[in-house]
Structure formats: structure tokens, C-alpha cells
Amino acid sequence: MTAGDWPSGTMRALPLDGPGHVIRTRLPIPDHEPGTVLVRPAYVGLCGTDLELFHGTAAYLNDGRTAYPHVFGHEWWGEVVAGDGGFTPGDAVVGHTMIPCGRCPDCQRGRRSVCRNLVETGLYGQQGAAADFIRLPAHALTRLPEGTEAPWAVLVEPAVTVVESLERTGCGPFDRVAVLGTGSIGLLTVQLARHYGAEVEAIGVDPAGLELATHFGATAAYRPEDAPGRAYSLVVEASGASSAFRRSLDLVEPGGRIAVVGVATDPLDGLVPGRFVLSGFDVYGIRHGLDHYGRTVELFATGVLDGAALVAAVVPAADVEQAFKLLECGRTGRPKVILEMGG
Ligand SMILES: [Zn+2]
Ligand SMILES: [Zn+2]
């Protein structure tokens, strides 16, 4: 039994067709499969990963996990149209990026983020949300509060990773936290670490971003070279720059923790392995927070996390090129560019 009428025919979609090139086309509406839900995306957030897909530099393209034409869109929310899993047409839902198989040995051990059959929405193996419809397994959807309308609800996706980084590192009131980077992840980390009672300082290169971090409760804001060394019990690297990872090693106090969330790909010369031993700090690679969607929705619903203040622009899907241009030219301050689907 499926709830709602599952449409057939074709739908509008916005695949990337080559570096720097989005096309408007029609694709078949995905058929109903048992256990799946068809959702109409309302808003799609764009991040650095989308820009890499747009530029043709994304790892997923280079290692063959995906190819053009590629329907992007991994940060999004929408309304249920039809399907299984106890959803009702009209329910507002956020879609998960990582979709584990649930059957492989890693899934069975509870290590779902390293599932060996993993697909990731809008990245590889699963069509993204830049289309009229997206079909996902029911277990890869989390309900949003009734009446959700806000474009910023797309921020649940990056925020689950923030929850994972502070949970895994055990962030608490005794911590002095340095957050490197003032993009969406960095600014959400400032907010959540403050909620956990930690003292938080922001480190970044964008003065407007640092100002926002202060607005969210950071008690100091520094350019990377000005931040005090060996002063932080927890450092969250959220900038994605290799130089910032290196800086993290100088900022953390002996015995502290470093959570690496940004994906820096430039190799680093001159790393001395013995420093990790002698300084006794822990380095956590934070892949994603796929187990935290429900909790993260609550954090926004209860006002712990402020999404509205992170939105730089909401751009109609018809002007998708403009959205990528905004992403490309580097915003200052508010980080999130969002596409408005539909219409
Ligand atoms: Zn993203
Ligand atoms: Zn698996």
C-alpha cells in the first residue's frame, strides 16, 4: 500500500552536464519501489561540495562514482508526495545524504557511515534534489515540524555533522573551543558549542564571518595567525584548508582534541608524526552525522540553532547559474546560498 498517488511520466531536472554547465531537461519520474517515498523538493542548499561538482573537481567525478549528467542537491527539504513508511502526503521532510544498506558487516556493527554499499544523495549512486521529484528509502527521511516553510531548514544536513563532531569529542562546559572557519559548519559549531556550555573562540579570514561568530556567542575572533597557541582543549577544523589543519596542531593544548570536519585535499609537507604522540592529542575525522537527524531537527525547532541568520541568498531554480556564481565569488558573512525549487 502506498499513501498518495505516485505520479508517472517525466519531471523537470537540473543536471550538471559538464564543468560550469547546468542544463534544464526532463527525466523520467522514478518509479515506486517497496519502502520508498517520493518527495517534491522545496529548497536545495548549495555548499562547497556542489561547487566542486560544478567545477568538475569533485572526488566523486574523478574516481568514477558519478559522471555527468549529474543531478546535484544533497542539502534539501521537501514535501512528501506518495510512498511507504508511514508518511502522509504533504509531510515536510529532510532527506539524508548518506544512505547505508543496513545489511553489510559495517552496518550490522553500527558503523553505518562507512557502509560498504553506501550511496550519497546528490553525490553518487542516488539522484539529488535539483529536480521536481526525488525518490528515497523511507528510512532516509526525517520529519520536519508541521508547517515548515523556511528555506533555512536545508541546514539540517550540514548541522548533523556538527552534532556528530561535538558528540564524538565530548564537548562540554569545561572546554575552551577554537572553531576554524566561518562557513555554515563553523557558525553552527559556534552555536552548538555555546549551547553545550563551552567557551568558544572563532578563527577565520572573513571579517564579516567572524562578526557573525561573535553574534552567535564566540567570545573572541581572530585571524589564524593571531590566535593564541596551545590554548584550546578542543579545536574544530571547519574551513577545509590544509593550512588550517596544520594550524589546528599548534592551537590545541597537550591532551586536547581536534575534530576535522573540513575536507582539505592539499598534501602537507613537514608534518612530524611524533608531535601527535608527545602532545597526546586526539584527532577525530568526522565523516557525517547520519544518526543525528531527529535530534538536529529538534535543535532548530527549539531555537538552539539559528538557521535564518546563515542565509546569504534564496535564488529561484530558474536562475541556478546565478546561485553557483554567488557560491563561486565567495560570500562574506552569511554563508548559505539556497535554491528555491518549484514554480
Ligand atoms: Zn553540503
Ligand atoms: Zn551497509
pLDDT digits (tens, 9 = 90+) for 115-128: 999 999 999 999 99
Give the Å distances, CA to CA, from 23 to 313, 322, 338. Answer: 21, 13, 18
204 within a domain of the structure (yes/no)? yes
C-alpha 95 to ligand 2 mean position (Å): 18
Q: How confident is the model at residue 342 (pLDDT cuts 50, 70, 90)?
A: confident
Checking if the pLDDT of 85 tops 70, the result is yes
Q: Are residues 99 and 200 in the same domain?
A: no
Domain of 110, CATH number, reads 3.90.180.10
Q: Which of 206, 5, 181 is nearest to 89 (CA)?
A: 5
Q: Which tens digit of pLDDT belongs to each residue from 244-273?
A: 999 999 999 999 999 999 999 999 998 999
Tell me the ligand closest to 107's alpha carbon: 2
Is 219:227 a contact under the CB 8 Å cutoff?
no
The 3-state DSSP class for residue 90 equals: coil
CATH number of residue 252's parent domain: 3.40.50.720
* Same domain, residue pair 30 and 124: yes
Spatial separation of the C-alpha atoms in residues 90 and 116, rounded to whole Å? 33
Cα 22 vs. chain centroid, distance in angstroms? 21
Residues 186 and 63 in one domain: no
Residues 58 and 134 in one domain: yes
In a domain, residue 276? The reply is yes
Query: Is there a single domain that holds both residue 253 and residue 139?
Result: no
| Residue range 273-290, pLDDT digits in tens | 998 899 999 999 999 999
Q: Is 236 within the bounds of a domain?
A: yes
> Which domain does 135 fall in, by range?
10-150+307-340
Please give the distance, rounded to the nearest whole angstrom, from the Cα atom of residue 283 to the centre of ligand 1.
Answer: 22
Structure confidence at residue 67 (pLDDT):
97
* Percentage of the chain exceeding pLDDT 70: 99
Assess if residue 1 is contained within a domain. Answer: no
In a domain? residue 110: yes
Compute the average pLDDT of residues 147-154. 97
Residue 213 forms part of a structural domain: yes
pLDDT in tens, 24-39: 999 999 999 999 999 9
φ, ψ dihedrals at 260, nearest 5°: -100, 110
pLDDT, the chain, mean: 96
Count of the separate structural domains present in the chain: 2
CA atoms within 13 A on the CB side of 297: 18
Residues 141 and 14 in one domain: yes
Residue 3 has pLDDT above 80, yes or no: no
Task: Report how far ligand 2's centroid is from the alpha carbon of 64 (Å).
Answer: 20
Average pLDDT value for residue range 326-336:
88
Q: Are residues 18 and 123 in the same domain?
A: yes
How many angstroms does the Cα of residue 108 sit away from the middle of ligand 2? 7
State in Å: Cα 52 to ligand 1 middle. 11
Mean pLDDT, residues 146-158 taken together: 97
Same domain, 104 and 174: no
Give me the pLDDT at residue 331, please. 73
Query: Do 171 and 143 belong together in one domain?
Result: no
Output the CA 120–ligand 2 centroid distance in Å: 12
- The mean pLDDT of 301-313, rounded to a whole number, is 97
Assess whether pLDDT exceeds 80 at residue 343.
no
195 CA distance to ligand 1 middle (Å): 23
If asked whether residues 122 and 186 sit together in one domain, one would say no
Q: Look at residue 294 and tell me if it is in a domain.
A: no
Q: How far is the CA of 138 from the centre of ligand 2 (A)?
A: 16
pLDDT, position 2? 64
pLDDT at residue 284, as a whole number: 98
Q: Which ligand is nearest to the CA of 159?
A: 1
Give the model's pLDDT for residue 4. 76
Q: Relative to the alpha carbon of 108, which ligand is closest?
A: 2
- Regarding whether 263 and 227 lie in a shared domain, the answer is yes
Q: Is residue 292, in this structure, part of any structural domain at all?
A: no
